[in-house]
Amino acid sequence: MKLNALSSSAIAVFATAIAGCGETRPAPTLDAFESTYEPRSSPPYFIQNVTILDGLGDEIAAADLLISDGKIAEFGADISAPEDAEIIDGSGRTLTPGIIDVHTHYGTASLPYAVGTPDHWDVNEASNPVTPGVRIETAFNPQDPALFYALSGGVTTFQVLPGSRNAIGGLGVTMKNVPGLTAQSMKYPGAPYGLKMACGENPKAYSIESRAPYSRMGVVALQRQAWKDAQDYANDPDAPQDFGLDVLAAALRGEVKVHSHCYRADDMSVMMDMANEFGFEIAAFHHAVEAYKIPKRLADEKVCSAVWSDWWGWKLEAFDGIPENAAFLHASDACVVMHSDVPALGGRLNIEVAKAVAAGRNAGVDISLPTALAWITSEPARLLGIEDETGSITIGKNADLVLWSGDPFSVISRADLVFVDGALIYDRSDPDRQPRGDFMTGQPVMDPAP
Amino acid sequence: MIFRAIAGLAIFWIAPLFAVQATAQDLIIENARLAYADDDSELVKISVTDGRITDVSPDLTAQDSTRRVDAAGNFVTPALMNSMTQLGLIELFSVNETRDSSGDEHDLGAAFDVQYGLNENSILVDIARQEGLGWAVTLPDGGNGKFTGLGAILHLRTDGSILHKSHAGLVFRSGEMTGGSRAAGWTALHDALSDGDAEASVTEVLAGTVPLIITASRESDIAQAIAIREKYGIRIILIGGEEAWRLAPELAAADIPVVLVPHNHLPSSYDTIGVRADNAALLHEAGVSIAFCADSIFVSHNAGNAMRVGAGIATAYGLDRQAALDAMTRNPARIWGVEAGYGAIEAGKSADLVIWSGDPLEALTQPVAVYIAGEAVTNASRHQLLRETYLPETAR
């Protein structure tokens, strides 16, 4: 995937080099607001006699797993606990990779929502339909209560994306779900940035305020012009630095993951044509409620679909949403990721997977639950470009783990323990390890924690 | 003015209970496991005649002409009831042409009556049936601090009108406003209930023939609803109730049932900062009658599945699973006054039944068969037709 991106952008750069001035500007750097995240120090943990679902499709019964130095050190049947390890009884419980959510608005559409004021809302920079230079990390409020509900549902890593009101909306950021006081203290070190684009009804909603774009045509024309400008910029060493064009130029080089909000199959087709025209790669269509209509094209183009289990019908472009979407994509060898978009789903992505699997079975597509677990673990890790570090239970990977009270796909199960880089960040039985954030401090809600 | 006149004439109208006798052949469902009987309890047979359950017993003999369905030991429950939807009133939230749920623009208030806008051909109804929903309350929406109108009870039968009963309740919405104060809304409600020349629907509320449905989330608003009950002695059904756990004994003492979203655990608005995931469990334990619904995008579009899985999630926070099922069957039947014909698998009730593939509270479970008024739900939903059109080759 990465190779494809590099080669296609190289071809694009080469092609424009022939057509243009023959000289390119130095590769843009997006470095700013650098991560200050540090893994918490923690003792080794030894989880005994647990069912492991590894996030890659396998299930290992009655296994032990050792967490050491923040990594998954060993797991299997015949390993022993070091003397200094804390022993955790996994009997009757299930261990999975930490859940990774590729589409959230945490910290920028902060809870509680408030209709009458922009105080809670930093999702869209609506001053202009094309704003590649804005960064969601500069708006992120780490006290958003939703973060802690997601943690209690097993989410260890998440991406925050700008909203879909802009044709090109700016940079998202990938975060570790640990309590912090700044975005930088949660920012996933080394994770590539994501660029948000949008097609369809949301970006054309500018027309409500009598501002362009008024139609899908206008949205696509603005996007094509932006990519053309970025190509020209990449080939013009004398152009003054433009933060937005830096972002698009980096996307053309395959260094930024492009995430496009899209619902209709025909919209997705136009976006893929545009990507091929300008030589950038779309990492995923988000929401993608009609992806099930074009699974082969999506598989051929190596584009993921980040979907809900069953949302449909709240607007026209979501009218054809069916709950079999994820299962049908999977059955056609297309990449599937389940996402939340809203906090109500963000803490229950395991149940979203169960609903999607149930719908598939009902239609004759039988996908095993250990396989479907990949939709919220290893597949989103790959989509975010952090698959070498997290997203599966593999020796040497970061110990981002969830110990569930039982079958993670049963409604009655809860996340008992959540580890990030081997540190125990959430413990359902210990109020001192149930972060709530400052907004909820002193509010009229009492224990138990979420 | 015309609308008001019609509403004034529309006296409490009740569809004749199961009067349609054209319910085709009789039916016996065999090897049914009644949720939540013990695993080793005997499986039963459920016999159905003219759309009603006539007998439930391990020992029934089928007549030759009887259609026999083998539930194969699976759970069978009454078809579910969702106590707050806009089914039949909304197709697409964002397309105003398909929304008939609010009388705000016409300033109708308590005179707005959803029955005149009900779309019996709504594609959402097919999907709701496929998800195991047999009954739904459909209510007006609209702004807070005022009456938003009269709701209706739907029985999602396939052999006649789904409008079972209009004037199911008069909705008053309390709670947060984007301007003004909620206090003004409560003042207006007291004025309306004290007015000697009250509107027709308010008169019905004062006479006790129509319940007052109050939407309230914050504790202070729930307390105001209890005060209304005490002052006027009228029937009240509370909807929302995110902070109701704080007043659970008071609600139980005032005999005010609560319709709530069972999986709600987020401080999604300033009115729900005190929400708890075990709200349903705490209310049930205190003796409050609870019934369930869904929220946000799911309100009507996934009115069966979202509520059912949400009820399952409530059991992870202490709610007994029989109580969770009751909150989608027996309890709403009583709360909405249809318990004579619905709410349990027993002789005399409408044959509104679902055979489930597993535990009806689990997300992995799906309906195997749905019967409403004795008729198998066989008409394909729009979802199913799309699914067949785009079925992957591997599943063909």
Between residues B132 and B198, which one has the greater pLDDT?
B132
Task: Give residue A5's pLDDT.
Answer: 42
Closest residue on chain A to B361 (Cα):
A411
Show which of residues 280-309 on chain B sit within 8 Å of chain A, judged by CB atoms: 295-297, 301-302, 305-306, 309
Show which of residues 338-367 on chain A sit within 8 Å of chain B, judged by CB atoms: 342-344, 347-348, 351, 354-355, 357-359, 361-365
Sign of the dihedral defined by the CA atoms of residues A265, A266, A272, A275, in that order: negative
ipTM exceeding 0.85? yes
Two structure tokens written together for A135: 């960064």
Task: Give residue A447's pLDDT.
Answer: 55
CA distances A25 to A7, A73, A243, B344, Å, are: 18, 44, 14, 74
**Segment B222-236 mean pLDDT:** 98
Q: How many CA atoms lie within 13 A of A332 on its CB side?
A: 27
The percentage of chain B sitting over the pLDDT mark of 90, rounded to a whole number, equals 83
* CA-wise closest residue to A284 among A255, A310, A307, A250: A307
pLDDT confidence band for B167 (50 / 70 / 90): very high
Task: Give residue B10's pLDDT.
Answer: 36
**Segment B72-78 mean pLDDT:** 97
* CATH of region B83-335, choose from 3.40.50.620, 3.40.630.30, 3.10.20.740, 3.20.20.140: 3.20.20.140
- Determine the Cα–Cα distance for residues A272 and A282; give it in Å rounded to an integer: 7
Residues of chain B contacting A365 with CB distance shorter than 8 Å: 392, 394-395
Kindly tell me the number of DSSP H helices and DSSP E strands found in chain B: 12, 16
Residues of chain B contacting A364 with CB distance shorter than 8 Å: 391, 395
- Tell me the pLDDT tens digit for each residue of A248-294: 999 999 999 999 999 999 999 999 999 999 999 999 999 999 999 99
- Which strand (E) or helix (H) includes residue B308? helix B305-315
Q: Do A256 and A30 touch, CB atoms closer than 8 A?
A: yes
Tell me if chain A has a CB within 8 Å of the CB of B239: no
Closest residue on chain A to B317 (Cα):
A412
- Determine the Cα–Cα distance for residues A90 and A365; give it in Å rounded to an integer: 32
With H, G, I as helix, E, B as strand and everything else as coil, classify residue B363. Answer: coil
**Segment B74-101 mean pLDDT:** 96
pLDDT confidence band for B12 (50 / 70 / 90): very low
With H, G, I as helix, E, B as strand and everything else as coil, classify residue B372. Answer: strand
> Which of A98-112, B1-15, B209-223, B231-245 has the weakest average pLDDT?
B1-15
- Counting beta carbons within 10 angstroms of the beta carbon of residue A241, is it exposed (0 to 12), middle (13 to 18) or buried (19 or more)? exposed
User: Is the Cβ pair B95, A315 closer than 8 Å?
Assistant: yes
Burial code (b: 16+ CB inside 10 Å, e: under 16) for B271-310 equals: bbbbbbbbbbbbbbbbebbbbbbbbebbbbbbbbbbbbbb
Closest residue on chain B to A109 (Cα):
B268
A319/chain B closest Cα distance in angstroms: 8
In chain A, which stretches have pLDDT less than 50? 1-21, 449-450
With H, G, I as helix, E, B as strand and everything else as coil, classify residue B115. Answer: helix
Two structure tokens written together for A145: 């209560």
Task: Give residue A196's pLDDT.
Answer: 98
Task: Give residue A3's pLDDT.
Answer: 40
pLDDT exceeds cutoff 70 at B153: yes
A428: left (phi over 0), alpha (psi -120 to 50) or beta: alpha
The radius of gyration of chain B's CA atoms, rounded to the nearest angstrom, is 21
* CA-wise closest residue to A310 among A345, A276, A278: A345
Quickly tell me which residue has 């069978």 as its tokens: B76
**In degrees rounded to 5, what are phi and psi of residue A416?**
-85, -45
Nearest to A411 among B270, B309, B387 (CB): B309
Tell me if chain B has a CB within 8 Å of the CB of A228: no
Nearest to B302 among A111, A116, A310 (CB): A310
- Determine the Cα–Cα distance for residues A435 and A450; give it in Å rounded to an integer: 10
β B163-173/B146-155 pair status: antiparallel
CB-based contacts of B315: which residues, under 8 Å, 6+ apart?
Answer: A411, A412, B321, B324, B361
A185/chain B closest Cα distance in angstroms: 25
- Tell me the pLDDT tens digit for each residue of B24-49: 448 999 999 998 977 678 999 999 99
pLDDT exceeds cutoff 90 at B384: yes
User: Is the Cβ pair B394, A331 closer than 8 Å?
Assistant: yes
Show which of residues 64-93 on chain B sit within 8 Å of chain A, judged by CB atoms: 91-93
Q: Do B17 and B341 touch, CB atoms closer than 8 A?
A: yes
Sign of the dihedral defined by the CA atoms of residues A293, A296, A301, A307, in that order: positive
Show which of residues 207-226 on chain A sit within 8 Å of chain B, judged by CB atoms: none
A293/chain B closest Cα distance in angstroms: 6
Residues of chain A contacting B265 with CB distance shorter than 8 Å: 149, 347, 450
Residues of chain B contacting A358 with CB distance shorter than 8 Å: 363-366
Nearest to B274 among A324, A357, A445 (CB): A445
CB-based contacts of B39: which residues, under 8 Å, 6+ apart?
Answer: none
Residues of chain A contacting B124 with CB distance shorter than 8 Å: 313
With H, G, I as helix, E, B as strand and everything else as coil, classify residue B73. Answer: coil
What number does CATH give the domain A2-37+99-386? 3.20.20.140
pLDDT exceeds cutoff 80 at B275: yes
Task: Give residue A22's pLDDT.
Answer: 55
- Which strand (E) or helix (H) includes residue B253? helix B248-253
Show which of residues 394-413 on chain A sit within 8 Å of chain B, judged by CB atoms: 409-413
- Tell me the pLDDT tens digit for each residue of A4-57: 444 444 444 444 444 444 578 888 889 999 999 999 999 999 999 999 999 999
CB-based contacts of B90: which residues, under 8 Å, 6+ apart?
Answer: B98, B99, B100, B101, B124, B300
User: Is the Cβ pair A445, B275 closer than 8 Å?
Assistant: yes
CB-based contacts of A323: which residues, under 8 Å, 6+ apart?
Answer: A309, A310, A355, A356, A359, B305, B383
User: Is the Cβ pair B267, A440 closer than 8 Å?
Assistant: yes
Q: Do B71 and B31 touch, CB atoms closer than 8 A?
A: yes
**Segment B160-187 mean pLDDT:** 95
Show which of residues 101-130 on chain B sit within 8 Å of chain A, judged by CB atoms: 124
CA distances B191 to A238, B26, B184, Å, are: 73, 53, 10
Task: Give residue B379's pLDDT.
Answer: 76
Cα angle: A106, vertex A295, A221; to 5 degrees = 65
Q: What residue type is A169 in one-letter code?
A: G
Cα angle: A33, vertex A36, A42; to 5 degrees = 160
With H, G, I as helix, E, B as strand and everything else as coil, classify residue B153. Answer: strand
pLDDT exceeds cutoff 70 at B364: yes
Max CA-CA distance within chain B? Answer: 69
Q: Which of B220, B386, B389 to mutate to test the interface with A (most CBs of A within 10 A)?
A: B386
Quickly tell me which residue has 């937005």 as its tokens: A244
- Reported pTM: 0.93
Secondary structure string (H, E, C) spanning chain A:
CHHHHHHHHHHHHHHHHHHCCCCCCCCCCCCCCCCCCCCCCCCCEEEEEEEEECCCCCEEEEEEEEEECCEEEEEECCCCCCCCCEEEECCCCEEEECEEEEEECCCCECCCECCCCHHHECCCCCCCCECCCCEHHHCCCCCCCHHHHHHHCCEEEEEECCCCCCCEEEEEEEEECCCCCCCCCCECCCCCCEEEEECCHHHHHHHHHCCCCCCHHHHHHHHHHHHHHHHHHHCCCCCCCCHHHHHHHHHHCCCCEEEEEECCHHHHHHHHHHHHHHCCCEEEEEECCCHHHCHHHHHHCCCEEEECCCCCCCCHHHCCCCCCHHHHHHHCCCCEEECCCCHHHHCCHHHHHHHHHHHHHHCCCCCCHHHHHHHHCHHHHHHHCCCCCCCCCCCCCECCEEEECCCCCCCCCCEEEEEECCEEEEECCCHHHCCCCHHHCCCCCCCCCC
A358/chain B closest Cα distance in angstroms: 5
User: Is the Cβ pair B92, A319 closer than 8 Å?
Assistant: yes
CB-based contacts of A66: which residues, under 8 Å, 6+ apart?
Answer: A44, A45, A46, A47, A72, A73, A74, A75, A79, A81, A82, A85
Residues of chain A contacting B386 with CB distance shorter than 8 Å: 320, 322
Quickly tell me which residue has 């016409």 as its tokens: B106
**In degrees rounded to 5, what are phi and psi of residue B116?**
-80, -10
Q: Which of A151, A445, A446, A447 to mutate to test the interface with B (most CBs of B within 10 A)?
A: A445
**Segment B373-381 mean pLDDT:** 91
